[in-house]
Copies of this chain bind each other. A is one copy, B any other.
Amino acid sequence: MTARPITLADVAREAGTSPSTASRALSGRGYVAPDVRKRLLATAERLGYIPNLSARTLKQRTSRVVGVVVSDLGNQFYAALAAGIETTLRAASYQMLLLGDNSDAGQELTGVRTFLSMRAPGVIMTPASNSAADLLVARGVPVVEVDRRLATSTCDAVVIDNERGARQAVEHLLGLGHERIGLLMAKTTWTTDAGRLQGYRAALAAAGLKVDRKLVVKVATHAADATGRIAALLDEQRPTAIFAANNVLAEQAWQVLRARRLSIPRDISLVAFDDVPWMGMVQPAITAVAQPTFEMGRRAALLLLRRLEDPTCGRTVEVLEPRLITRGSTGGRKR
């Protein structure tokens, strides 16, 4: 039958020492005679001893498994973020526990509860609401917010300059002569969207143009009628260019344009916020605001590691710079 797992006590008995000594030998703290340590290491190896993390966590009241929650595991943006985090944590011999919350505050809260009950030493998240992060902070668990900031309590964060990125994108369009620029953005309370909207407005204002609210379409995440809304924007407002504020909306917009056989950029230009691989592959390639995604993950992990080292260290919010990559999807305004 299923053999009972090997415990530390088994190893100790086999090597003829007490469990305490075995513990010291294997975890490497406290006095152990070199030969005894060697013997214990060998027996542990021989028996295939695997420490029981629950017991250790219970006793030490903390674990080395960092919780990470992202909005959508299937989105390459978040996948890259997670990859950056994972690599960095691994290097510091922490483990990442990855969860997706589908942009749902409820799922986010459930996930965070799990982290709490597993005594994660810290959490990195792309927050969907403020409540989860606040809960963690209230319980004394350090949180790093990535991509956007929502917590009401203070915590470290890594974001990019959304306003600036959006401004660059829109200025680029304005420079090409566009004046009716549709904005497609997610309907959220996230700082990312707020910042991008802000940038859109700022660019228009700087060019002496008024914002036509009808050109701004806010689409709820996972909304079934997303393409319908986009189609309506095209029909009713006849924009000469579209700025899609995230990669999902960019893809949807692209699909709509293609379905209508509109030529990009002859009939309409398209710019996206957040560069993902397909944008460089389609014909014409999509002009996009690239984010240093992997790097954001790395920085977030570093911030958390720093705080684990020194819980009292000052709060840091890193703002990275986006970069506009001009490609074929943007061109002079159709006359």
Contacts and interface: CB of A to CB of B under 8 A. Distances in A.
A283 B97 CA distance: 38
Contacts of A254: 281
Interface string A49-66: 011111101100001010
A54 B58 contact: yes
Nearest to A284: B283
A44 to B, nearest CB: 13
Nearest to A97: B97
A2 B140 contact: yes
A178 B251 CA distance: 34
A54 B281 contact: no
Interface size class of chain A, counting residues whose CB lies under 8 Å from the partner chain: 35 or more
B51 A5 contact: no
Nearest to A79: B74
Interface stretch (A9-17, A109-117, A299-307): A109-117
Stoichiometry, as copies per complex, reads 2
Interface stretch (A80-88, A161-169, A200-208, A318-326): A80-88
A23 to B, nearest CB: 15
A148 interface: no
Interface string A285-306: 0000000000000000000000
Interface of A: 2-3, 5, 50-55, 57-58, 63, 65, 73-74, 76, 79-80, 82-83, 86, 95-100, 113-114, 116-119, 139-140, 251, 254, 277-278, 281-283
Q: Which 9 A-B pairs have the closest CB atoms?
A: A2-B140, A53-B117, A54-B57, A54-B58, A278-B278, A54-B54, A98-B98, A283-B283, A74-B79
15 contacts: A50-B139, A51-B117, A53-B54, A53-B118, A54-B55, A54-B58, A54-B118, A73-B83, A74-B80, A79-B79, A97-B97, A251-B277, A254-B281, A278-B278, A282-B283
